[in-house]
């Protein structure tokens, strides 16, 4: 674990009520960005972001992880899954989905809303934004692997634990995600390649 | 090396999880395979561009910090530990006291018991007289006797 993370957590457990403030500041962006991409809107994202921290605070005395951010990602992952399940119940889609993991398509796959929204299409033309839009077209499992690598620099071994699958499955999801991004952003990549010396 | 394997190695190398012995073979494959070079390039581009991070609202962050303060474990205050030296001092005093008192009390337990028993065997009035006059010399007793009868 990061030395400063350990120090902050130990100080907090020792009674320093403000000791977690640097960790909240340090990890708020990658964690929130990940949740925002995995949920349907800012309101949901902020709620899950807050709940992730509240759960972390409640269980921080049990923290035996290598990396604090990975632990937060794991909590956030579970909360996102819970949210998807709850939303699914709300719209009475149980009959459409037999089990959580059905063949190659998971519950989240089936609930994914592929395509780029008009609001996103109206966005800028920068490659970053185009990549962001292309990421939205990935299935949730692929998107999660991609985002955990990009935002959190989470190792595949850790992603496998979060997604409760093998490391090979995670690698395949990332390969698929990159292949899809390459096909969607073919023109941009070709322009970049031509520009390269 | 097949392209599928090479792509996985590129991903593992990117995450710092590739075995050291595989890097040479991967470099050789990348030298010959344009498609895998493009895959690696796409990964680098994604790293460079996808990391446009969003930020939660200030209110949410403040709520979390407030909750963190409320949920913080109690600080270990100094007063919690002051009882330890006080307890140690009291225990030491008791031990020292016992070291001196116990031998004194137990020096002649049989004699003490006999004295007490002899007093208890007397009539109650005699017990009072015995206690009142114990320790007085014969002159004192004679003086008391005279004074008692003179008053009478």
Chain-chain contact of A132 with B4 (C-beta, under 8 angstroms): no
Show the 3-state SS of B7-72: HHHHHHHHCCCCCHHHHHHHHHHHHHCHHHHHHHHHHHHHHHHCCCCCCCCHHHHHHHHHHHHHHC
Q: A101: which DSSP letter?
A: E
- What digits encode the pLDDT tens for the residues B86-122? 778 888 888 888 887 777 766 665 665 665 666 677 7
Q: Answer whether residue B152 shows pLDDT above 60.
A: no
What are the two backbone dihedrals, phi and then psi, of residue A106, each rounded to the nearest 5 degrees? -90, 175
The shortest C-alpha distance from A85 to chain B (Å) reads 24
- What digits encode the pLDDT tens for the residues B2-41? 899 999 999 999 999 888 888 888 899 999 998 898 888 8
A42-58 and B58-71 are packed helices; what angle lies between their axes, rounded to 10 degrees?
Answer: 20
Radius of gyration (Cα) for chain A, nearest Å? 18
- What digits encode the pLDDT tens for the residues B46-76? 887 665 678 899 999 999 999 989 888 876 5
One pLDDT digit (tens) per residue for chain A, 197 residues: 555 888 888 888 888 888 889 999 999 999 999 999 888 788 889 999 999 999 999 988 888 767 899 999 999 999 998 888 887 666 544 444 444 444 444 444 444 444 444 344 334 446 667 777 788 888 889 999 999 998 888 999 999 999 999 999 999 999 999 888 888 777 766 666 666 55
Are B56 and A28 in contact by the 8 Å Cβ rule? The answer is: yes
Helix (H, G, I), strand (E, B) or coil at A164: coil
In chain A, which residues have their Cβ closer than 8 Å to the Cβ of B76?
14-15
Chain A neighbours among B 85-144 (CB < 8 Å)?
A: none
Are A72 and A27 in contact by the 8 Å Cβ rule? The answer is: yes
Distances (CA, A) of B110 to B20, B99, B121, B134: 89, 20, 17, 20
Chain B neighbours among A 64-123 (CB < 8 Å)?
A: none
Torsion of CA B137, B140, B145, B150, to 10 degrees: 170
Helix (H, G, I), strand (E, B) or coil at A106: strand
At residue A45, the pLDDT reads 92
At residue A113, the pLDDT reads 41
At residue A98, the pLDDT reads 43
**Which of the residues A35, A50, A194 would you substitute to probe the B interface, choosing the one with the greatest number of B C-beta atoms within 10 Å?**
A50
Judged by a CB distance cut-off of 8 A, whether residue B62 touches chain A is no
Residue B51 is nearest to which of A53, A151, A185, comparing CB atoms? Answer: A151
pLDDT band at B129 (very low <50, low <70, confident <90, very high): confident
Judged by a CB distance cut-off of 8 A, whether residue B57 touches chain A is yes
**C-alpha–C-alpha distance, residues B9 and A175, integer Å:** 11
**Which of the residues B2, B50, B76, B80 would you substitute to probe the A interface, choosing the one with the greatest number of A C-beta atoms within 10 Å?**
B50
At residue A25, the pLDDT reads 92
Q: What residue has token string 């955990």?
A: A148
Strand intervals (E) in chain A: 101-102, 105-106
Six-digit token pair at B72?
A: 């913080």
- The arithmetic mean of pLDDT across residues B72-85, rounded, is 63
Q: A20: which DSSP letter?
A: T
- What digits encode the pLDDT tens for the residues B135-145? 777 787 788 77
Q: Answer whether residue B125 shows pLDDT above 60.
A: yes
């Amino acid at each position: 674990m990061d030395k400063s993370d350990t120090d902050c957590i130990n100080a907090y457990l020792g009674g320093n009520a403000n000791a977690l403030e640097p960790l909240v500041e340090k990890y708020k962006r990658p964690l929130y960005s990940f949740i925002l991409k995995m949920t349907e809107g800012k309101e949901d994202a902020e709620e899950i972001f807050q709940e992730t921290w509240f759960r972390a605070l409640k269980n921080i005395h049990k923290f035996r992880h290598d990396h604090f951010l990975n632990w937060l990602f794991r909590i956030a992952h579970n909360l996102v899954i819970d949210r998807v399940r709850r939303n699914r119940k709300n719209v009475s889609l149980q009959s459409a989905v037999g089990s959580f993991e059905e063949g190659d398509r998971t519950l989240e796959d089936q609930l994914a809303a592929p395509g780029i929204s008009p609001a996103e299409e109206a966005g800028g033309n920068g490659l970053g934004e185009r990549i962001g839009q292309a990421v939205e077209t990935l299935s949730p499992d692929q998107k999660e692997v991609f985002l955990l690598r990009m935002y959190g620099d989470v190792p595949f071994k850790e992603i496998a634990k979060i997604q409760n699958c093998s490391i090979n499955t995670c690698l395949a999801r990332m390969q698929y995600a990159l292949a899809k991004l390459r096909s969607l952003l073919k023109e941009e990549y070709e322009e970049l390649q031509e520009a390269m010396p | 090396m097949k392209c599928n394997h090479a792509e996985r190695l590129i991903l593992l190398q990117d995450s710092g999880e590739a075995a050291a012995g595989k890097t040479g073979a991967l470099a050789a494959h990348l030298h010959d395979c344009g498609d895998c070079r493009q895959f690696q390039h796409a990964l680098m581009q994604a790293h460079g561009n996808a990391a446009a991070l969003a930020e939660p609202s200030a209110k949410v962050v403040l709520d979390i910090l407030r909750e963190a303060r409320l949920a913080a474990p109690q600080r270990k205050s100094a007063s919690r530990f002051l009882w330890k030296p006080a307890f140690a001092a009291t225990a030491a005093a008791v031990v020292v006291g016992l070291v001196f008192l116990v031998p004194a009390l137990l020096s002649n337990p049989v004699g003490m018991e006999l004295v007490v028993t002899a007093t208890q065997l007397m009539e109650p009035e005699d017990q009072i007289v015995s206690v009142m006059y114990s320790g007085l010399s014969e002159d004192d007793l004679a003086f008391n006797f005279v004074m008692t009868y003179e008053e009478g």
